[in-house]
Amino acid sequence: MTNSQRVDLAESGPVDVTYTEYGTGRPLLLLHGGAGPASVTAFAERLAADGFRVLVPVHPGFEGTPRPEPLTTIAGLARLYSALLDALDLTGVTVAGNSIGGWITAELALLGSPRVAGVVLVDAVGLDLPQAAIADFFSLTMDEVAELSYANPDAFRIDPAKLPPERQAAMAGNRAALQVYGGTTMADPTLLGRLPAAATPALVVWGAADRIVPPEHGKAYSDALPDAKFVLIEDAGHLPQLETPAKLQELVAEFAEEA
């Protein structure tokens, strides 16, 4: 079921957040990465079957949704989703995010909302680690992105030129929104130093074959967060929810139960 919730945000005024809801049970906010909400849809359905009420918002500017001009940062998205939890009066929420969704999740943890019981970072961008740099995403072709993103790239390659024009346009819009929020580097040099202030329990999950955001980033996240566990999935890359969904589902469910 797809809904829209108007949220008041100090920096941009009212924002209409589009989100899709799956299942009933313990609340879980699932935040997509640059590939858009379709990259987490099947995983949301798995979690719903596992007894979760899963909410998947569309980051404003993705999939043709409007983005208020002042809303330009990952931290701003974190404040938006914190306000969304307030508007929906949800408590005991597990927040999980992949890629930039993971970065938003880290910023949410730093906000310290009492509504958030725990956070799961899945191959999150956001850290500035010169010794293990994030791939220059915006210089890559889609084929190169697939090569770096998956343990088994051939199973996930797509030819954008063969997609319907409306899908090509949506992908171009998603790419533009991604650059607005994450910048060309997909990193915030201040984030690593701020993470020790986050008291929320965290699970950091990484695909060992991730060559977009190397596993060193996962270890750095887990080392900096005061209450964090790090898990490496050997046969996954940047999107474990697509390559190893059963394993990731097991990890998220177990963590949510503990949190």
3-state SS class at 118: strand
Kindly report the backbone phi and psi dihedral angles of residue 226, in degrees, each rounded to the nearest multiple of 5, phi listed first: -65, -30
Locate 209 and state its tokens: 């074959």
Quick count: other Cβ atoms within 10 Å of Cβ 90?
Answer: 16
DSSP-H helix ranges across the chain: 38-49, 74-88, 100-111, 142-149, 165-182, 191-194, 215-224, 240-243, 245-258
pLDDT of residue 124: 98
Q: How confident is the model at residue 230 (pLDDT cuts 50, 70, 90)?
A: very high
Cα separation, 37 vs 113, whole angstroms = 24
SS3 per-residue string spanning 120-141:
EEECCCECCCHHHCCCCHHHCC
Name residues whose C-beta falls within 8 Å of residue 32's C-beta, 6 or more positions apart in sequence: 39, 40, 56, 58, 59, 62, 97, 98, 99, 101
Locate 76 and state its tokens: 């701003």
Cα separation, 251 vs 120, whole angstroms = 9
User: Could you tell me the end-to-end alpha-carbon distance of the chain, in angstroms, rounded to an integer?
Assistant: 27
Kindly report the backbone phi and psi dihedral angles of residue 119, in degrees, each rounded to the nearest multiple of 5, phi listed first: -130, 145
Cα separation, 222 vs 20, whole angstroms = 30
Locate 124 and state its tokens: 């999150």
Crossing angle for the helix pair 74-88 and 100-111, to the nearest 10 degrees: 60
Give residue-wise pLDDT tens across range 113-138: 999 999 999 999 999 999 999 999 99
Q: Is pLDDT at 228 greater than 90 in this prediction?
A: yes
Q: Is the pTM above the cut of 0.75?
A: yes
Q: Which residue has the tokens 């359905």?
A: 45
213: left (phi over 0), alpha (psi -120 to 50) or beta: beta
Kindly report the backbone phi and psi dihedral angles of residue 39, in degrees, each rounded to the nearest multiple of 5, phi listed first: -75, -10
Q: How confident is the model at residue 30 (pLDDT cuts 50, 70, 90)?
A: very high
Across the chain, mean pLDDT equals 96
Quick count: other Cβ atoms within 10 Å of Cβ 83?
Answer: 18
Cα separation, 254 vs 57, whole angstroms = 23
Domain count across the chain: 1
Give residue-wise pLDDT tens across range 55-64: 999 999 999 9
Locate 22 and state its tokens: 């799956």
Q: Is pLDDT at 246 greater than 90 in this prediction?
A: yes
Q: How confident is the model at residue 239 (pLDDT cuts 50, 70, 90)?
A: very high
Domain that holds residue 57: 2-258
CATH number at residue 228: 3.40.50.1820
Question: Residue length, the chain?
Answer: 259
